[in-house]
Chains A and B, each alone.
Chain A
Amino acid sequence: MDLSAIWTMAASDLRQRVRDRSVFIFALVVPIALMFVFNLLFSGLGSSGALEPIKVQVAAEPDDSIAQGLVDVFGSIDGLDVTATLVSLGSKGALSNEVESGAVTLGVVFPAGFAGAVQQGGSPQVELIVPGDGGLEPGVAASIASGYVDRVATASRAASVAGSAGVAPEDLQKVAQAVAATAPTLTAEEGAPSDQQLSPGGYLVAGQAALFMFFTVGFGVVTYVYEREQGTLPRLMSMPIPPRSIIVAKVLVSFILGVVATAVLLGVGVLFFGVGFGNVVPVGVIVVAAVLAATSLVLLVTRVARTAEQAQAATAMVGILLGVLGGSFFPISGSGLLAKVSDLTPTAAFIRGLGITNGGGGVADLGAPLAVFAIFALGSVVVSLALGNDESFA
């Protein structure tokens, strides 16, 4: 195979593509614009940072020991910045306003006569006042408060059951107190997820880079079909070069465009969104392998398409479908069948590979994503060759 001829063809194609603004628009401008917009939209939703300080006000009668118990519970939680205070029951109306204005994270109201009602085996209601527009801190504080109320209820139930089972009335209070005073026997220790993950911002950048990779590599290989349509392919064939060199040159163009565009997109992510992807060598391996897989898939598309327009459209369809399925826009949730199918797409493999490199993984740790790329590349090339009665595949 004549390498200099291949390079001459590839360089000429690259010059044309660079002059054609559509490559820039599809490969760089559109994905970068989307990254910026998504970053603006979703940065407000991320919860990777620490929780804001939580302020809880508990409205109850001054001698309500159960309400005081909740204040103590909030005071004893490690790792959360909580201020809990007991306020008079009369300020219930003001409490709603303060929760609405955001001055108080959670308001808790223990009605008058609450402690007495509980001791009598009644079922009074504790009101948790939270802001309607959600938010993380009110949710966390409300979970803690409702867990406490559950505990009081369980103690009350135990006393009630003890009464029905014939336990002496003077011992019922002892049963309730035993429940309330027992140290929890089922506790949680915080575990770490696998460190092979991307930050939410990194996920967004990787997802868009994976999605637009298909469009970008399409600009190389699809020109083969275009040359056939325009009648320049037979002229190339008449040159003293092996016909296969022509398709190799087209693949080379796709490969170069894909690697450059993907590297630029990841670089933009690092520069503007402060995300990281790990060591440059394994990241490079992932990018090169992913672009090879995408190029071979697009090669297969061009074997099936009759016109350049068809080839471009089919490439876009394959790219978008693999993008949605592979989680370019949002991760496929859970671990069910859909998630397993998603794992088999080059898009998901690319995102996962960058997660591994970001967690400090090296080339040796990239087995699973590289296997996905290899299967796609091999499968596409084999089918392309099987389809081939075309002159340049001969």
Chain B
Amino acid sequence: MSAVVAIALTSLKRFFRDRSNIFFVLVLPMLLVVAVGLQFGDAGSAGQVVLVGSGPLSDDVAAGLEAEDLVVDRLDNGDEAREVVARGRSDAAVLIDAAGERSWAAGDPVQATVIPGSQAGGQATVATIGSVLTTVSDRRAAVTALTDEGVDPGEAERSLASAGDVGPTAVVTTVGDDLGEEFSGLGAFDLGAAQQLSLFMFLSALTGAALLIQARELGVIRRELSAPVTAGQVIAGEAMGRFVISLTQGLYLVIGTAVLFGVNWGSPVATGLVVGVFAGVSAAMAMVLGSLIDNANSATGVAVGLGLVVAALGGSMLPLELFPDGLRMVSAFTPHRWAYEAYSEIQRRDGGVTDVLPQLGVLVAMTALLLPFGAWLLRRSLSRAM
């Protein structure tokens, strides 16, 4: 057993001796958690609107948009707003020019320009903008109707504002799977951290496959075999090496994101088990890859490609809940999907070990299939090398 552990620890040492791995394993995932959190973590926001215009009307419209949970970004220049929308940086833009502000102040009708974005959510945001404009317009109509009856305009505005509880209200009831509720228990960085965790654990293990190839190329494995250890111990040690690399990556990310960004990882035992089992699948896959390919450079390319593609298909880049049905079925073949489901259970619904048993079972089954296959491939390539 000590021989197996020694070989495994040597793998870990060799992995971190390459200083670039410190960036890829320690720095890059944290940067991505921040980037994803800043971009998508604002769960309360219904969308982003650029508003061009300054004056009481623009202020009223801005307040109305914010009341609808839209993030309002105010700019001075219409062309800039058109460009921001064109580049997908905002869901829509509202333009109110100086003439519009003057007309509004004079009590005349105003036409605002609304520019829909082409990205997802553009048209829904435009519909919300339309209803905000109607509300502002109706308030003006109410003040006019009251003024016509002899009420002072200032008094009319104040009274209308304080009569907010009069009149009907609309309440929204959702039926079927509720996406909003599904994500409601999550902090800004929670979802991104769980996604990056699987992505990087798998990726680190797979790029570690190149080390396995180097170990064969440089004769490290032959030297290991010349020591009083069996081929089985060498293979177990190399498999353990990939496992330790992936596990180190996983534990670092869980602890790091919890400390730095307050990510909620729920039950430590359940999360620890999922991380451990996922490291097992990653190590098994790395064994297969490292034994099938003979060139370390090609293996790195395949590892990065495979790591990213499988992660994308497994919900590490887009939440699984937003997947089309066909792709959701495909995702069942990736370990990431099962880890994603397990972390969802733990993070969003305070799940414990028993709640994630089905996901753990699938991950263990995947390891049980891949690991013997990888070990067999490595044994075959070792016997060829000798």
* B3-45 interface code vs A (CB 8 A; 1 in, 0 out): 0000000000000001110011000100110010011000000
The one of B110, B131, B179 in contact with A147, judged by C-beta atoms closer than 8 angstroms, is: B131
B228 contacts across to A, CB distance below 8 A: none
Q: Which residue of B lies closest to A348 (CB)?
A: B87
Q: Tell which of B129, B134, B170, B321 touches A125, judged by Cβ atoms closer than 8 Å.
A: B170
| Complex Cα spacing A183 to B113, Å | 18
Residue among B48, B80, B168, B176 making CB contact with A126, cutoff 8 Å? B168
Q: With the chains together, A331 CA to B177 CA distance in Å?
A: 29
Residues of B within 8 A of A132 (CB): 174-181
Q: Is A154 an interface residue (CB 8 A)?
A: yes
Residues on the B chain within 8 Å of A190, using CB: 113-116
- Is there an interface contact between B113 and A191, defined as CB atoms closer than 8 Å? yes
Residues of A within 8 A of B137 (CB): 184-187
Rounded to whole angstroms, the CA-CA distance of A123 and B170 in the bound complex is 10
CB pair A151–B138 under 8 Å, yes or no, is: yes
Q: Is B251 among interface residues, defined by CB-CB distance under 8 A?
A: no
Q: Identify which of B108, B121, B168, B301 contacts A29 (C-beta below 8 A).
A: B301
Instruction: Give Cα A121 to B144, complex, Å.
Output: 20
Check A25–B301 contact: CB distance below 8 A.
Answer: yes
- Cα–Cα distance between A284 and B331 once the two chains are bound (Å): 38
Closest CB in chain B relative to A131 CB, distance in Å: 5
**B131 touching A144, Cβ below 8 Å:** yes
CA distance A145 to B130 in the complex (A): 11
Smallest beta-carbon distance A200→chain B, Å:
6
A48 (CB) vs chain B CBs: closest residue: B118
Taking the closest CB of chain A, its distance from the CB of B193, in whole angstroms, is 16
B138 adjacent to A150 (CB under 8 Å): yes
Q: Is A68 an interface residue (CB 8 A)?
A: no
Residue of B117, B149, B171 near A162 (CB, 8 A) is B149
Specify which chain B residues have a CB less than 8 angstroms from the CB of A309 in the assembled complex.
18, 20
Closest to B78 in A: A191
Residues of B within 8 A of A175 (CB): 145-146, 149
Chain A 30-43, CB-CB to B under 8 Å as 1, else 0, gives: 10011001101110
B317 contacts the other chain (Cβ, under 8 Å)?
yes
B166 and A160 within 8 A (CB):
yes
Q: Say whether A167 contacts B95, CB under 8 Å.
A: no
Among B151-159, B240-248, B358-366, which stretch is in contact with chain A? B151-159
Chain A CB within 8 A of B353 CB? no
Residues B151 and A333 in contact, CB atoms below 8 Å apart: no
Alpha-carbon distance between A131 and B177 when the two chains are bound, in angstroms:
8
A183-205 CB contacts (< 8 Å) to partner B: 183-197, 199-200, 203
Complex CA–CA separation, A87 to B339 (angstroms) = 46
* CB-contacts of A172-187 with B (<8 A): 175, 178-179, 182-187
Q: Which residue of A lies closest to B325 (CB)?
A: A44
Q: Mark A16-37, 1 if CB is under 8 A from B, else 0.
A: 0000111001100110011001
Q: Once the chains bind, are A130 and B172 in contact (CB under 8 Å)? A: yes
**A193 B140 Cβ-Cβ under 8 A:** no
Q: What A residues does B131 contact at CB under 8 A?
A: 143-144, 146-147, 150
Bound CA–CA A132/B179 (angstroms): 6
Query: When chains A and B are docked, how far (Å) is the Cα of A182 from the Cα of B146?
Result: 13
**Interchain nearest-CB distance for B328 vs A (Å):** 11
A96 interface residue per 8 A CB criterion: yes
Asked if A139 is at the interface of the complex by the 8 Å CB criterion, the answer is yes
Which A residues are CB-close (under 8 A) to B329? Answer: none
Which residues of B have CB within 8 Å of A140?
123-124, 127
Q: Is the CB of B84 within 8 A of A335?
A: yes
Instruction: Tell me the residues in window 31-66 of chain A with beta carbons closer than 8 Å to chain B beta carbons.
Output: 33-34, 37-38, 40-42, 44-48, 51, 66
Q: Assess the A30–B305 pair: CB atoms within 8 A.
A: yes
CB of B120 within 8 A of CB of A47, answer yes
Considering residues A30, A41, A158, which has the most beta carbons from chain B within 10 angstroms of its beta carbon?
A: A158
In the assembled complex, B309 has its CB within 8 A of some CB on chain A: yes
Q: Is the CB of A188 within 8 A of B130?
A: yes
Per the bound structure, the CA–CA distance linking A20 and B301 in Å amounts to 11
Q: Choose among B23, B134, B155 the residue that contacts A313 (Cβ–Cβ < 8 A).
A: B23
Q: Are A136 and B20 in contact (CB under 8 A)?
A: no
Judged by a CB distance under 8 angstroms, whether B381 is at the interface is no
Q: Name the B residues within 8 Å of A183 (CB-CB).
A: 109
Q: Is the CB of B124 within 8 A of A125?
A: no
A333–B90 touching, CB < 8 Å = yes
A195 touches B113 (CB 8 A): no
Is B173 touching A313 in the complex (CB atoms < 8 A)?
A: no
Tell me if B323 is interfacial: C-beta within 8 Å of chain A: yes
Stretch in B256-264, B280-288, B292-300 with 4+ CB within 8 Å of A: B292-300
Q: How far is the CA of A48 from the CA of B120 in the complex (A)?
A: 7
Chain B residues within an 8 Å CB radius of A134: 179-180
New contact pairs (9) apart from A125-B168, A155-B142, A335-B89, CB-CB < 8 Å: A38-B312, A47-B119, A123-B165, A144-B127, A153-B168, A186-B136, A193-B93, A200-B88, A334-B89
Q: Which 7 A-B pairs have the closest CB atoms?
A: A313-B20, A153-B167, A147-B131, A25-B301, A132-B178, A30-B305, A156-B167
Chain A to chain B contacts (Cβ below 8 Å), 19 pairs: A20-B297, A22-B301, A25-B298, A38-B317, A123-B169, A124-B168, A126-B168, A126-B171, A131-B175, A136-B123, A140-B123, A146-B131, A147-B130, A151-B138, A161-B159, A175-B146, A193-B115, A197-B118, A355-B87
**B positions within 8 Å CB-CB of A:** 18-20, 23-24, 28, 31-32, 35, 38-39, 48, 50, 57, 71, 73, 75, 79-80, 82-90, 93-95, 104, 108-124, 127-131, 133-142, 144-146, 148-151, 155-156, 159-160, 163-181, 295, 297-298, 300-302, 304-305, 308-309, 312-313, 317-318, 321-324, 327
